[in-house]
Amino acid sequence: MSAKLTILGCHSATPRTSAHPTAQLLEIQNRYFLIDCGEGTQVQLRKYKIKFSKIKHIFISHLHGDHVFGLIGLISTFRLLNRETELHVYGPKGIKEFIVNQLKLSQSFGKYPIEFHELSSTESELIYEDSKVTVHTIPLKHRVYTNGFLFKEKIGERNLNISIINKYPEIEVCDYQNLKNGKDFTLKNGAVISNTELTTAPKKPKSYAFCSDTVYNEAIVSIIKNVDLLYHEATFLEDKIDLAKTTKHSTAKQAAQIAKLGRVNKLVIGHYSSRYSDIERFKEEAFPVFPNTELALEGKTFEI
């Protein structure tokens, strides 16, 4: 099964009528993960026909408004829709107070439980795991405590080689799951048929790395190494590199350098500053360093 990333918002700072702040939806192994929740995210979810009920896990990179101000509105709407399913919110320490105080003062508590997972480590850590997917943090360097997130599929079951299996009548359908799990098969005469003869390797697990606001930071390369898709913020072009350093953001060229060092398959850049009217310039700057670069555009989907 393929994974899919939908860009809901990809601009920095203040929202505009045609430019929304950061928010993304990652679909992987039938899980729907919302990543950041800038102002207007729930409207974007409606616009691109994403069912609110599918969202059970929300990951917030940091507490700057253009990445989190849409969260209270979405949580409140869940209540109006009579949500009952538990919601998990992962974000910096303080995010619980940030949300609960607003719910308390607006008397907007819903019947559904909200589980907050507050983060404070400056080292990469596992924050989510189930039978199919893991999520680790990617420590970033910004003006406030910030994390990116690495989403990875677990290695799946092996694939049955039916044409070979059919040569051994002793192998029945009830044995198939053991073969998928990697076990050899022992015939009645004691001969062992290697699992590698009866099956083929599973598909390569998909991976996606989301790197939110950050200054250029090669320390993340070892974490994002060889991912299928990398999103890396590119607020500025090289003409504003001094401003990038001051505000602890990255340029398009720097994002491309990280992608190149990480040997990733594809790079997506976004979080464009409103100083630039032509965002094609971001791709033009990144391309010479890392040719397989694409621009984040609202409503655009990337198959992983």
Catalytic residue numbers read 66
Q: Which two tokens stand for residue 244?
A: 């990038």
Q: How far apart are the C-alpha atoms of 75 and 60, rounded to whole Å?
A: 14
Q: Which two tokens stand for residue 24?
A: 């993304």
Q: How far apart are the C-alpha atoms of 58 and 123, rounded to whole Å?
A: 20
Q: Which two tokens stand for residue 273?
A: 């500053």
CA distances from 228 to 1, 165, 216, 232 (A): 14, 33, 20, 13
The residues, any chain, with a CB within 8 Å of residue 50's CB and separated by 6 or more, are 6, 25, 32
**Which residue in 114, 66, 112, 72 sits closest to 89, CA to CA?**
114
Residues 131-165, buried b or exposed e (16+ Cβ, 10 A)? eebbbbbbbbebeebbbbbbbbbeeeebebbeeeb
- Dihedral pair phi/psi, residue 61, rounded to 5°: -75, -40
Contact 211, 141 (CB under 8 A): no
